[in-house]
Amino acid sequence: MIRKKVLAPDRIRQPGNGFAFIPHRFLTDGFLQSLSRHELALYLFLVLASDKNGISFYGDKTIQSILGLKGNEYTFARSSLIHKDLILHDGTFFQILSLPSSAYQS
Can you tell me the mean pLDDT for 22-33? 94
Query: How many domains is the chain partitioned into structurally?
Result: 1
CATH number at residue 90: 1.10.10.10
Residue 75 in any domain: the answer is yes
Residue 72 in any domain: the answer is yes
Determine the length of the chain.
106
Cross-strand bridge partners of residue 87: 96
| pLDDT at residue number 105 | 64
Q: Is residue 55 packed enough to be buried (19+ CB in 10 Å), middle (13-18) or exposed (0-12)? A: middle
Can you tell me the mean pLDDT for 5-28? 87
Which helix (H) or strand (E) segment holds residue 28: the answer is helix 25-28
Residue 18 in any domain: the answer is no
The string of pLDDT tens digits covering residues 66-96 is 999 999 999 999 999 999 999 999 999 999 9
Nearest to 95 by CA among 105, 85, 106: 85
Q: Is residue 4 packed enough to be buried (19+ CB in 10 Å), middle (13-18) or exposed (0-12)? A: exposed
Q: Which structural domain, as residue segments, surrounds residue 57?
A: 28-96
Residue 103 in any domain: the answer is no
Residue 15 in any domain: the answer is no
Pairing of strands 55-56, 94-96: antiparallel
> Rounded to an integer, what distance in angstroms lies between the CA atom of residue 48 and that of residue 71?
21
Residue 39 in any domain: the answer is yes
Nearest to 22 by CA among 58, 53, 48: 48
The pLDDT > 70 percentage for the chain reads 98
Is 13's pLDDT higher than 90? no
